[in-house]
């Protein structure tokens, strides 16, 4: 299975987990492009081998595939590597694309996109997240091997929530009996939007998990939120001395949301776009994010369900937070709809597994 980064790995994980249970004698190889994926999952026990995928050249593709000798290749969402896909097709090794999402602006649908369209022909099956993606592929003549399966991330977050492993007790001690806001995958833009509300609401506990956990960025976050606690420095003696906890590691966020009353997901005020809102919604939490979410259909759908709110600026954010903090009825209404949205969209993994086993 090839996953560009950590988010794509999470989309592929439920498929890999089921395949491993059905075919325990097969070896699982996972490859990454991004360090954020590899560094976070290089010790993942659900795979036998985990590597970076060597650069996309004809010789690398030929050598790597000769070494691995895969009987099946799963490509997650995107990152189309021409030489690898061509070599796999040449050797008649089945390649399945899962949780794919297509938009009109992509090269596949442009006059100059013949190379990109040829890469799509290398897949034995394409499982797309939504009907719009299937319609776009139909326009360029790719239809017979396309299935609208949904997004496997729904199955992934449900699995995490239903097999919840509690975080160390200091997290619960920090939260105490107060209202808790967990802000996950934040960038500087998100933190600036939150800053005024955090400083003026000492009775609320805030857990901030920055997207970047490099020392230099954590130091910047500490400068913004004066007097905050770092998770790495948390002890029983200081756990209740402040109202802001900054998570300076990776791997905890999907479980941190469980401790929240309200969640904020970062990326929506930047150019790169929104991070994973499903990790928060699965626990039945209102989800708040910034205005840049147009490339993320799950965000549009969750707003339509009544489980999320997008805000344009600091004033809107503060108004929404105040309303949700002060009204249990309002907050619980958003929370119930968020959880319903997640469970109403499960099942993509089963469709993919059914095809593979056939």
Q: What is the DSSP string of 91-122?
A: TT--EEEEEE---TTSGGGSTT-HHHHHHHTT
Same domain, 11 and 150: yes
Same domain, 204 and 304: yes
Same domain, 29 and 156: yes
Kindly tell me if the per-residue pLDDT of 272 is higher than 80.
no
Same domain, 143 and 191: no
Same domain, 81 and 180: no
Residue 299 phi, psi dihedral angles, 5° rounding: -70, -45
Structural domain count, the chain: 2
Full strand arrangement of the beta sheet holding 180-186: 229-230, 244-246, 205-210, 180-186, 262-265, 287-289, 308-310
- State the chain's maximal CA–CA distance in angstroms: 65
What's the average model confidence in pLDDT over 278-289? 97
Same domain, 181 and 241: yes
CATH number, position 199: 3.40.50.2000
What's the average model confidence in pLDDT over 155-164? 92
Q: Looking at per-residue confidence, does 338 or 6 come out higher? A: 338
Same domain, 351 and 330: no
Same domain, 238 and 154: no
Same domain, 337 and 220: yes
CATH number, position 70: 3.40.50.11720
Residue 207 structural domain:
167-343
Residues with Cβ within 8 Å of residue 320, at least 6 apart in sequence: 288, 309, 311
Classify residue 257 by burial, with Cβ atoms within 10 Å: 0-12, 13-18, 19+: buried
Same domain, 177 and 91: no
Kindly tell me if the per-residue pLDDT of 318 is higher than 80.
yes
- The mean pLDDT value of the chain amounts to 95
Q: Name the residue among 156, 125, 154 with its Cα closest to residue 16.
A: 156
């Amino acid at each position: 299975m090839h996953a560009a980064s950590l988010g794509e790995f999470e989309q592929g994980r439920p498929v890999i987990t089921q395949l491993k249970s059905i075919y325990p004698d097969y070896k699982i190889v996972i490859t990454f492009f991004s360090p954020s994926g590899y560094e976070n999952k290089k010790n993942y026990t659900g795979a036998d081998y985990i590597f970076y995928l060597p650069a996309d050249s004809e010789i690398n593709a030929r050598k790597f595939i000769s070494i691995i000798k895969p009987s099946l290749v799963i490509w997650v969402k995107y990152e189309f590597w021409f030489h690898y896909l061509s070599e796999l097709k040449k050797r008649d090794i089945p390649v399945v694309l899962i949780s794919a999402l297509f938009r009109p602006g992509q090269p596949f649908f442009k006059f100059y996109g013949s190379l990109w369209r040829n890469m799509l022909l290398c897949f034995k099956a394409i499982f797309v997240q939504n009907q719009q993606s299937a319609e776009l592929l139909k326009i360029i003549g790719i239809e017979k091997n396309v299935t609208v399966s949904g997004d496997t991330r729904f199955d992934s977050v449900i699995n995490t929530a239903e097999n919840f492993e509690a975080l160390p007790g200091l997290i619960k001690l920090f939260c105490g009996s107060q209202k808790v806001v967990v802000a996950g995958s934040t960038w500087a833009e998100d933190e600036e939007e939150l800053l005024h509300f955090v400083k003026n609401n000492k009775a609320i506990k805030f857990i901030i998990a920055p997207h970047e956990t490099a020392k230099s960025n954590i130091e910047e976050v500490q400068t913004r939120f004066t007097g905050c606690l770092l998770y790495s420095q948390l002890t029983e003696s200081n756990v209740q001395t402040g109202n802001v906890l900054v998570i300076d590691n990776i791997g905890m966020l999907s479980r941190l949301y469980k401790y929240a009353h309200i969640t904020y997901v970062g990326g929506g005020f930047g150019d790169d776009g929104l991070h994973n809102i499903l990790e928060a919604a699965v626990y039945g939490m209102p989800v708040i994010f910034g205005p840049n979410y147009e490339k993320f259909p799950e965000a549009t759908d969750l707003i339509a369900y009544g489980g999320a709110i997008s805000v344009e600026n600091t004033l809107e954010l503060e108004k929404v937070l105040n309303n949700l903090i002060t009204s249990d009825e309002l907050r619980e209404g958003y929370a119930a709809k968020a959880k319903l949205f997640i469970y109403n969209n499960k099942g993509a993994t089963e469709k993919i597994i059914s095809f593979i086993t056939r």
